[in-house]
Chain A
C-alpha cells in the first residue's frame, strides 16, 4: 500500500456551493390566506388548503412573487418571462398534500451574482409543516410519538442556489452574512437562522488544486448559524481529504453536522436518494411577471449592503471594515447616516466609531431607532468630545443616559456635572496627585515612564473622568520635567 504524504493531501482545494432557503415575510402563506406565524399555539394558522383537504386548490400569493422578484433583481438575475410550478412528490407527515409545490426546470430567475459569487438560480416554493418528536432520539425513527404543527406549512420560501464558487469555509460563511444582510435590508425576510427563516445547506467537494473538474459532492444539511456552517464545511473538507488520503473515493451523500460533537452523520446515500417524480403543477398557472410587477419590484429595492459599504468607504472615507459593519447592520448604518446628516461637517470617522462601538455595545442587536437616542444627539455628543468640551469617558456616561432617556447631550453634561474640568481646577488636582504619589514620581524620574499611569489615574478619579487623559499626562510631564 502506498502511503500518501501530507503535502500531497494538501494539494486539494475545496469547492463549495450553497443552497439557501429563505422564508419570506409576507402577511399570508404561499398558496392560501393563512397568516404567517412563529411560536404561536400549534395548528392555529391552518385552513383546508394548507392542511391538504380533499378538493382544495392552491392560489399563488402575489406578494410572495413580488418579494421573490426583488430578490432576483438584487442579484441581477435573468427573470423568466413565464416560470412554472412543479409538484415534488414524496410522503412525509409534514407534507400534507404528499407533494411540495416547488419550481423545477423553469425557475423564477437564473444567472445572477452577489459579491463574487455567481447565483445559479432563484425559485419559489412552499415550506413544510413542523414535526415534533417525543422520546429520546428527537428524530422520527425511534420516537414514541410524533405530532405535526401545520402553522409553518405553506410559508413562502425562496430557494437561492449558488454556483460552486466558494473556496473555503470562511468564504462560505462570509457569503452567507452578505446574503443575510442583503435580504434583511430588503425587508423580505426575518433571515433568522435560529428560528429557521434562513436555512443554509452546503455542497462540498474537493479537487486537486489548480484543476477545473468538480469532485463528487456531499450535501451538508441545515446548519443553523454561520459559525456552524463554517465548522461543518471545515469538518467535511477534512473528512473528504482523509478519504482521498487513504486511497478511497468520496461518495455522494447527504450529511448532518452536529455542532455539539463536531461529527458528521449520513442521512442518505445516493442509492437512497428520492425519486421525486416532478411534473408540472396542473392547479397553477405560470408566473408571468408583467411590466408593472417588474417595475414595482425594482422600485422597492433599497440600496443594498455591498453598494452601501462601497459608498461609505468612498464618499465618507471610512475604513473598509467600518463601512462594512455599518452597511451590513443596516439599522445601524441608517442611524449613522442620519447622525452624519445632523452633524454638518463633523468628524465622520469618530462618529462611525461611536456608532459601531459605543452605541452598538449598548443596544445589542436591536434597532437604535427604537431607543430614546436621537441621531442628532449622538452627533452633538461626538462633536463635544472632538472639541474637548467633554472627556471620552464622561461622554460614555452621557450616552448611557441618552440611550435610556433621550434628551440633549449638553443638558445631560450640565445636569450631571460632567463638563470638562477647568484648567485652574485641574492644575490643583494634578499638583495634589503628584504630592500624594511620591513613589510614582520617583519611578518616573528613574525612567519608568509607564508609572505616570498611577498619577493620571488619581487625577481621573478625583475629576470623576471629566478630565482629558492626554491633557493630564502632558501637565504631569511638564511639572516633573520629563
Chain B
C-alpha cells in the first residue's frame, strides 16, 4: 500500500476512502508510521495511535503553534515547553469536523519568527531535497513533512511569508489566504494584524480542499470574515484573457536560476492564453523595513503573556522582576529576544510616530500600490523567494540577510491579500517557487490560475517513494536535535 499512498495526493486518498477502497484507519496508520520515522526534524509530536474515529479524510500535520487540546502546542519555543492547551484552535476544529485528524505537530521557527526554521527552540529542520539546506520558515516542519512524504498535507501560518517561502524552498504548494478568511483563534500569535492560517500541500487541489474547510467567520475571532461565496475545487486548464503583472525580476539578489524558472513559467502563462506584463510596486522595497517594525511591535505585546505566572516553565527566585527576567531570558531564543527588543523600542514614547507610525503609513502605501496594480492586471506574480533553499547556518549570523528572504512575500500580508506559491521547476536541483497574488478574497481565482499553471508545469516533486532512511545522508553530522515527544 505504501507506494500507492505516497503517490496519491490527499484529495485522491480521500476519494479512495470515500469509495471504500481504503479505510481511513489504515490511511491514518500509514501516515502515522511515516511521521514517526521522520528524521528531518520536521515533527515535534506524532500521534501515538489511530484515533477511535479516524475521520473520512487523510490526517494532517499541524504547525506547532496551533493549539490542540491536550497535545503539546509550544510554538517552537522552550518558554511553552510541556504546554498542553485546554482548548483547540478553530481552524483545527473545523478540519476535525470535516473528518481530518491531527497526525502530528510540526517544527517551526520559534513563535514563527524566522525564514529557515533554524530559530526553533527544538532544533532545525532539514530540507528533504538536500539535508544540508533549510526547508524555509517559519512553517519549515510542515513544508518538509509534506515534501518528504511524511504527511499527506499540512497547515501552517504566514505572517511575512511563513507558508509561501518554505513551500517554495521545499517544492510544494503553499497558500496564504486573505487576512480574515480563516479564524486566528487558537493560533499562538506572532503579529496579530498579519498572521493567517493556510495550507501546505502536494498540489493546488489539496490546498483548495483544505481552504474550503478552514475558511469561515468565527465568533471567537472578531477579525475573521470567511471567504464570501466559499471555495470550490479548481478546474481551470487555460488562462485565456487573464492578465498577469510580473514584478521584482530586476532585483540584484534574484538568483539567475530562479529567474530562469520564473521566466519559463511566464512563457507558460502566455501559452495558456494569459497575458504577461511588467508592473511596478514602487513601495515594495520598503516592505521589509515596515514589516520588521510592525511585526515585532505587535509581537512585543503578544509575547508579554509568557511570564512564568500561569503556565510554562518558571525560573528565577525571589522577587517578581527576577521571575519575569529569568523566565523570559531562559525561555526565549535569541531571535525572539531581538524582536521583542525591536518592537518594544518601536512602540516607546517618543519613538512611536517615527517607527510604528511611519511603518503603518508605508503599509498603506504598499496596499495602495497593489490595489493600483489590480486595476491593471488580474494577478501580481513574482518569484516567491529570490533564492533556492540556502545552507543551514548560512544566514544565521546575519539577521538582515535572513530578513531579506521575505522580500517577495512581505507585501501581501501587509496589504492583507491572498497569494499562493507553486513549484515551477528546479534550479541546481532545488525547487523554485512561483508566486501568484490577487485582490482580497480572490482565492478561488488564484486557485484556478494556479491549477492551470500547475498542470502545464508538471512539476514532479521530491521522489517521496524513496525511503528516507536510504536517502542522501550528507548532513548526518549536522542532524537536528532530537525532537521533543
Known: A89-B304, A279-B297, A279-B352. A55 touches B89 (CB 8 A): yes
A56 at the interface (CB under 8 A from B): yes
List the one stretch of A4-12, A96-104, A379-387 in contact with chain B.
A96-104
Partner of B309, one of A140, A148, A278: A148
Q: Are A284 and B222 in contact (CB under 8 A)?
A: yes
Pick the most buried of A54, A59, A91, A285: most chain B CB atoms within 10 A of its CB. Answer: A54
Give chain A nearest CB distance to B143 CB in angstroms: 21
A51 at the interface (CB under 8 A from B): yes
Q: Are A55 and B310 in contact (CB under 8 A)?
A: no
B residues 141-195 touching A (CB-CB < 8 Å): 184-189, 191-193
CA distance A285 to B87 in the complex (A): 24
Residues of A within 8 A of B214 (CB): none
Q: Are B304 and A98 in contact (CB under 8 A)?
A: yes
Q: Are A279 and B347 in contact (CB under 8 A)?
A: yes
CA distance A159 to B188 in the complex (A): 31
Q: Are B186 and A55 in contact (CB under 8 A)?
A: yes
Give chain B nearest CB distance to A275 CB in angstroms: 5
Partner of B87, one of A48, A60, A93, A279: A48
Q: Are B220 and A57 in contact (CB under 8 A)?
A: yes
A314 at the interface (CB under 8 A from B): no
Q: Which residue of B lies closest to A93 (CB)?
A: B309
Give chain B nearest CB distance to A144 CB in angstroms: 12
A-B contacts, 22 listed (Cβ < 8 Å): A52-B310, A53-B87, A53-B311, A54-B85, A55-B65, A55-B66, A55-B73, A56-B185, A57-B220, A57-B222, A58-B222, A89-B304, A91-B307, A96-B305, A96-B310, A99-B304, A275-B348, A277-B344, A283-B192, A283-B221, A284-B223, A285-B223
Residues of A within 8 A of B422 (CB): none
Not counting A53-B311, A97-B304, a sample of 8 additional A-B residue pairs whose C-beta atoms are within 8 angstroms of each other reads A52-B305, A53-B85, A54-B67, A54-B85, A55-B89, A56-B185, A60-B222, A283-B192
A470 at the interface (CB under 8 A from B): no
Q: Are B310 and A89 in contact (CB under 8 A)?
A: no
B301 at the interface (CB under 8 A from A): yes
CA distance A58 to B356 in the complex (A): 23
Partner of B356, one of A48, A97, A279: A279
CA distance A154 to B329 in the complex (A): 28
Q: Are A99 and B184 in contact (CB under 8 A)?
A: no
A152 at the interface (CB under 8 A from B): no
Q: Are A275 and B305 in contact (CB under 8 A)?
A: no
Q: Are B301 and A55 in contact (CB under 8 A)?
A: no
CA distance A229 to B187 in the complex (A): 46
Known: A52-B310, A96-B310, A279-B356. A91 touches B324 (CB 8 A): yes
B298 at the interface (CB under 8 A from A): yes
CA distance A283 to B301 in the complex (A): 12
State the B residues within 8 Å of A (CB). 65-67, 73, 75, 80, 83, 85-87, 89, 184-189, 191-193, 219-223, 297-298, 300-301, 303-307, 309-311, 319-320, 324, 344, 347-349, 352, 356
Q: Which residue of B lies closest to A89 (CB)?
A: B301
Per-position 1/0 for A131-166, Cβ under 8 A of B: 000000000110000001000000000000000000
A121 at the interface (CB under 8 A from B): no
Q: Are A98 and B301 in contact (CB under 8 A)?
A: yes
Known: A54-B305, A55-B67, A89-B301. A282 touches B193 (CB 8 A): yes
Q: Which residue of A lies closest to B186 (CB)?
A: A55
A87 at the interface (CB under 8 A from B): yes
Partner of A87, one of B184, B223, B301, B303: B301
Known: A57-B220, A91-B307. A282 touches B320 (CB 8 A): no
Q: Are B297 and A98 in contact (CB under 8 A)?
A: no
Residues of B within 8 A of A98 (CB): 301, 303-305, 307
Pick the most buried of B65, B187, B301: most chain A CB atoms within 10 A of its CB. Answer: B301
CA distance A97 to B298 in the complex (A): 13
A residues 42-64 touching B (CB-CB < 8 Å): 48, 51-60
Give chain A nearest CB distance to B259 CB in angstroms: 36
Give chain A nearest CB distance to B339 CB in angstroms: 15
Residues of A within 8 A of B306 (CB): 54
Residues of A within 8 A of B298 (CB): 279, 282
CA distance A98 to B80 in the complex (A): 16
CA distance A294 to B422 in the complex (A): 49
CA distance A58 to B223 in the complex (A): 10
CA distance A10 to B216 in the complex (A): 67
Q: Are B344 and A140 in contact (CB under 8 A)?
A: no
Residues of A within 8 A of B348 (CB): 275, 277
Q: Are B86 and A48 in contact (CB under 8 A)?
A: yes
Q: Are B73 and A57 in contact (CB under 8 A)?
A: no
Q: Which residue of B lies closest to A49 (CB)?
A: B220
Give chain B nearest CB distance to A277 CB in angstroms: 4
CA distance A2 to B86 in the complex (A): 69
Residues of B within 8 A of A148 (CB): 309
CA distance A57 to B90 in the complex (A): 11
Residues of B within 8 A of A57 (CB): 184-185, 220-222
CA distance A53 to B85 in the complex (A): 8
CA distance A383 to B324 in the complex (A): 70
Partner of A140, one of B219, B221, B320, B349: B320
Give chain A nearest CB distance to B162 CB in angstroms: 16
Residues of B within 8 A of A278 (CB): 347
Known: A279-B352, A283-B192. A59 touches B301 (CB 8 A): no
Give chain A nearest CB distance to B7 CB in angstroms: 35
Per-position 1/0 for A78-101, Cβ under 8 A of B: 000000000101010100111100
Top 6 nearest A-B pairs (CB, nearest first) are: A98-B304, A277-B347, A282-B193, A282-B192, A54-B188, A52-B305
Q: Are A283 and B223 in contact (CB under 8 A)?
A: yes
Residues of B within 8 A of A93 (CB): 307, 309, 320
Q: Are B85 and A55 in contact (CB under 8 A)?
A: yes
Partner of A97, one of B89, B305, B344, B352: B305
Residues of A within 8 A of B85 (CB): 48, 53-55
Q: Which residue of B lies closest to A51 (CB)?
A: B310
CA distance A366 to B305 in the complex (A): 43
Q: Are A283 and B222 in contact (CB under 8 A)?
A: yes
CA distance A97 to B189 in the complex (A): 12
A residues 436-480 touching B (CB-CB < 8 Å): none
Residues of B within 8 A of A279 (CB): 297-298, 301, 347, 352, 356
CA distance A219 to B301 in the complex (A): 27
Give chain B nearest CB distance to A146 CB in angstroms: 8
